[in-house]
Chain A
Amino acid sequence: MSRTAKKSDRLSQGPDWSFELIQQYDDEIGKIAKEFGLDTYPNQIEIISSEQMMDAYASVGMPLGYHHWSYGKQFLEVEQNYKRGRMGLAYEIVINSSPCIAYLMEENNMMMQALVIAHACYGHNSFFKGNYLFRTWTDATAIIDYLVFAKKYILECEEKYGIEEVELTLDSCHALMNFGVDRYKRPVPLSMTEEKARQDEREQILQQQVNDLWRTIPVFDRAEEEQQKERVFPSEPQENLLYFLEKNAPLLKPWQREIIRIVRKMAQYFYPQRQTQVMNEGWASFWHYTLMNELYNRGKVEEGFILEFLQSHTNVVSQPSFDSPYYSGINPYALGFAIYSDIKRICENPTSEDREWFPDIVGKPWLEVLDFAMRNFKDESFILQFLSPKVMRDFRFFGIENDVLDPFVEVKEIHDDSGFRGLRQRLAQQYNLSHREPNIQVQRVNLYGDRSLVLKHTMDGSRPLNDDTVEVVKHFKRLWGFDVRLESWDGDRLAQVYSSEAPVEI
């Protein structure tokens, strides 16, 4: 492409945006994205003010949500920080829905709007549509409907049973939210009408089942009684705590089960996002970089525009080192961007090191490899598969281990030949959700006694649970209705017991 294109090809370069201009940029960027083969949901670009952005923040980016005090708290926090200038607002929020909704802030200039369009409307959007986790666990066409349903349902509950009651139930559900996801089953997408129809049906059936489980009518048949005594419930440990409560808690009212279900659905919806931070942000950053540069290569924008863009881009993908005051962990934008860019480099200009490490992708068309990488992995496996020695060197990664009994921390690997594999493994583990979150499952229920329930925590690397544990166990108890014990097992050793009642000493 010639950079000395005719002036008339240029898009307007003024700092101010207008609706026509956004439309023009979007057309251009969309055209280029299509040429690169990005497959997206239709876009819905919404211009909002900074206040509305704060609202969106508070409701975890969802365009509508049920009412709960914790969102109010979130809002106050954002507002306070923003007003004191301690924090800038994100440039964009994008929602995994079809059409894919992206928010643009009115305060931004045209360059930023173009950047956000490239980043959100084509980067994130194509990721939502392509990545297997999102394809499996979320249904972009149904989410807005479901939110409408959830909001309405909870509003009705508040009218019928009082704000207080509903709030208590929601509090408890939120405390267990991260433990309300299925990992191995595909949920059936539901639209609002289906959901509504099924919900009534469900209320009845569910209650029946629960009643059955807790039947207290004496059994006259001896043999049957013996048989029942031996019955272990649940027959296998259950890791989806909210699901277990929804289906089995004896005292919950039908509407409370429905609320648990709503929170569970929300958790499930966000589950893929929690597992693809690096991949998702990296993908979006890689594409905003590529698309914006292509705009420049085709003579659509001038040097000033692209320089301003590069400055913003550099800020987004910068990675402070561990000893910098600005360090707050690994920047997922930076790491993801680096990995995708490096995949492209390996395809096009491989070194001998790359030939050794990535024989499969050297010399392949980069667009195909990149597309494959985006579709079929989550952070953990993505890093394991594609993190190259070059990126580790560039980031100057080093892995350390820390044992609480040891007054020293030990450097296990650094970015050298002997360390690359271990380092990569260690970093991948860091993004493994089941490593980040404790492993807690419903172990057994005392069916024929006091109905108490035991949760089992299997320790990972002897790491104990945090100080919230007793509180959360109490929330669990509120939903379960009877005593709850949480046992922490370090291998075969019972390390700690948390109880919803008095503290337990071992």
Chain B
Amino acid sequence: MKLSYVIKRVLYSLFVFAVVITLNFFIPRIGVEDPAERYYPPQGNMSEIEYEIVKQLTREQYGFHVSTWQQFLNYLKGLAQGDLGTSFRPGSPKVLDLIKERLPWTLVLSVSTMLIGLIVGVLFGVVAAVKRGRWQDTLLLNASTVMVALPSFFIALVLSFYLGFEWEIFPAYTDSTMVSEFAWTWEGISRVARNAALPVMSMMVGSIISYAQGTRNAVIAVTNEDFVLTARAKGLKRSTIRYKHILRNSLLPIVTSLGMSISGLIGGQVVIEQVFNWNGMGTLFLEANQTNDYPLMMGIMLLLSGFTILSILLTDLVYVLLDPRVTVGDKR
């Protein structure tokens, strides 16, 4: 029964991915005229015939010389071989190579933010739930109210102004040689850590508070369940009840929000990366947008949506492990 559930979920995810690939290919093509004309306007001393040849060559170079359907088939063929297409950038770099270059730097920020947010947030949330109504809980409530009004880029600006420019504790601006001079040495790593400090700090506040809030509410909701009273009536110790009965049941909503945030890991934070001059996926996407480099945009979008589908699938599968009731709903 569980196996059939897993197969069903996987097939469903594959179907969604196929739809995403199709839409991802056709939507950018709706409003765009001949890319050759668009990216190579007539040069001053070029004759009409020469210009036609240049355009034709450009089309052939990017695979636009065939019909749209044929292009789609070629695109699918490329995808099957792990080729996301070729960027319009000078030098015609492969989209996949551009992404490979930026993704690790985005992951440095996003994964550390998520881990700190998850660990600190869940701990804080459990404490707030246990100390319900006391100062720890009030602190969380007030902090989350303030956070609603404080976007992360504002925190980023404040942090970069004080910790960066005024007190010079952390670099306010990522130095451009961090990436080019990176090596797996102690110095290289600590340099990345120092540069990442401010962007991570500006993002983790919100992350911690949202995990804490979710955990607190889940723990309180589960604490009021009847089976917790049963567990107490059985004479179980408070710690046993807390970890074996309450926390396990509170995990479900936490796993959901974790799954949701996994897909955000590779997207990068466009604004935060801009504020701190961090060359990650967010910046790459912004550049692609500004230069109308749609093979690159398509590549990033495809990666993002593929990752989203994958993380939702994983969330669903983890649910099966955590909650034995999940398959019941599937049987109906």
Partners in one complex: no
